[in-house]
Amino acid sequence: MVRLVQQLDNPSNGEISIVQLKHASAEQVARTLEALQGTGSGDTSGLPPARVVADARTNSILIAGDPAAQARMRALIQQLDVSLPAAGNSQVIFLRYAKADDLAKLLQQVVQTQEKTTEKTKAAPESPINIQADVTNNALIITGPPDRVRDLQQLVRQLDVRPKEVLIDAIIAEVSGDLSRQLGAQIAVLPSVGSTQNPVAVSNFTNGALPLATLAGGASAIGQALAASPGVFLGFGSNRSGQARYGLLLNALQSNSATNILSTPSLMTLDNKQAEIVVGQDVPFVTGSYSTTLNQGGGGVVSSPFQTIERKKVGITLKVTPQINEGDSVRLKLDLTVSSIAPSISGAVDLITNTRQVKTVVITDNGAIVVLGGLIQDSYTDSVQKVPLLGSLPFIGRLFSSTSRQLQKQNLMIFLHPVIIDTQNAANAYTAEKYRILRQQSARAANNRNSMQQQPLPPHLRQFVPAPASSGVAPATAVSVAPAPAASVGAHTTPLLAPAVAASAPAPARGTHGG
Question: Torsion over CA of 472, 327, 324 and 412, rounded to 10 degrees?
Answer: 80
pLDDT of 473: 38
End-to-end CA distance of the chain: 55
Domain count, the chain: 4
Helix (H) or strand (E) holding 409, with range, is strand 401-421
Among 185, 255, 150, CA closest to 395: 185
- Give the best-scoring range by mean pLDDT among 38-52, 335-349, 427-441: 427-441
Residue 462 lies in a domain: yes
Q: What are the residues whose beta carbons fall under 8 Å from the beta carbon of 303, sequence distance 6 or more? A: 291, 292, 293, 294
Question: Could you list the residue range(s) of the whole structural domain that residue 313 is in?
Answer: 167-188+246-421
Rounded-to-integer distance, Cα 490 and Cα 449, Å = 10
pLDDT of 291: 72
**pLDDT above 90: residue 333:** yes
What digits encode the pLDDT tens for the residues 61-74?
988 888 888 888 88
Residues 287 and 391 in one domain: yes
Residues 430 and 412 in one domain: no
- Assign 3-state DSSP to the chain and report helix, strand, coil percentages, each to 5: 25, 40, 35
**234 against 164, higher pLDDT:** 164
Residues 360 and 385 in one domain: yes
Amino acid at site 388: P
Write out the DSSP string of 147-175: HHHHHHHHHHHHH--PPPEEEEEEEEEEE
Among the residues of 217-327, which ranges form H helices?
219-227
Helix (H) or strand (E) holding 26, with range, is helix 26-39
What digits encode the pLDDT tens for the residues 244-261?
666 777 778 777 877 777
Residue 44 phi, psi dihedral angles, 5° rounding:
-115, 10
Q: Which of 80, 108, 139 is the last residue of a domain?
A: 80
What is each CA distance from 18 to 61, 68, 77, 337, in whole angstroms? Answer: 6, 15, 11, 68
Residue 400 lies in a domain: yes
- The fraction of the chain above a pLDDT of 90, given in percent, is 16
Mean pLDDT over each residue of the chain, to the nearest integer: 74
Q: Which of 46, 80, 114 is the last residue of a domain?
A: 80
Q: Give the number of residues written for the chain.
A: 515
Residue 194 lies in a domain: no
Number of neighbouring beta carbons within 10 Å of residue 254: 12
Rounded-to-integer distance, Cα 265 and Cα 344, Å = 27
**pLDDT above 50: residue 478:** no
Residues 145 and 174 in one domain: no
pLDDT band of 119, cuts 50, 70, 90: low
Residues 296 and 414 in one domain: yes
Rounded-to-integer distance, Cα 187 and Cα 399, Å = 8
Q: What are the residues whose beta carbons fall under 8 Å from the beta carbon of 358, sequence distance 6 or more? A: 334, 335, 336, 372, 373, 414
**pLDDT above 60: residue 232:** yes
Residues 435 and 389 in one domain: no
Among 473, 471, 478, CA closest to 430: 478
**154 against 222, higher pLDDT:** 154
Write out the DSSP string of 179-220: EEEEEEEEEEEEPPTT--PPPSEE---SSSS--GGGGGG-HH
Residue 212 lies in a domain: no
Q: Which of 80, 101, 136 is the last residue of a domain?
A: 80
**Domain harbouring 133, CATH code:** 3.30.1370.120
Which is it for the CA torsion 114, 120, 124, 125, positive or negative? positive
Residues 429 and 477 in one domain: yes
pLDDT of 286: 83
Residues 396 and 297 in one domain: yes
pLDDT of 204: 67
Q: Mean pLDDT over residues 125-133, rounded?
A: 80
Residues 74 and 173 in one domain: no
Rounded-to-integer distance, Cα 122 and Cα 129, Å = 18
Helices (H) then strands (E): counts for the chain: 7, 19
Which is it for the CA torsion 436, 438, 439, 443, positive or negative? positive
Residues 258 and 370 in one domain: yes
Q: Is the pTM of this model over 0.85?
A: no
DSSP three-state, residue 448 = helix
Residues 40 and 113 in one domain: no
Residue 240 lies in a domain: no
Rounded-to-integer distance, Cα 262 and Cα 269, Å = 23
Residues 506 and 369 in one domain: no
DSSP three-state, residue 133 = strand
Pairing of strands 139-143, 301-324: unpaired
Rg for the chain, CA atoms, rounded: 42
pLDDT band of 487, cuts 50, 70, 90: very low
Buried b / exposed e over 473-496, threshold 16 CB at 10 Å, is bbbbbbbeeeeeeeeeeeeeeebe
What digits encode the pLDDT tens for the residues 368-409?
988 888 878 788 888 888 888 887 888 888 778 888 888 888
**pLDDT above 70: residue 412:** yes
Rounded-to-integer distance, Cα 466 and Cα 25, Å = 50
Q: Mean pLDDT over residues 272-276, rounded?
A: 93
pLDDT band of 491, cuts 50, 70, 90: very low
Residue 370 lies in a domain: yes
**pLDDT above 50: residue 140:** yes
Residue 394 lies in a domain: yes
pLDDT band of 151, cuts 50, 70, 90: confident
Residue 239 lies in a domain: no
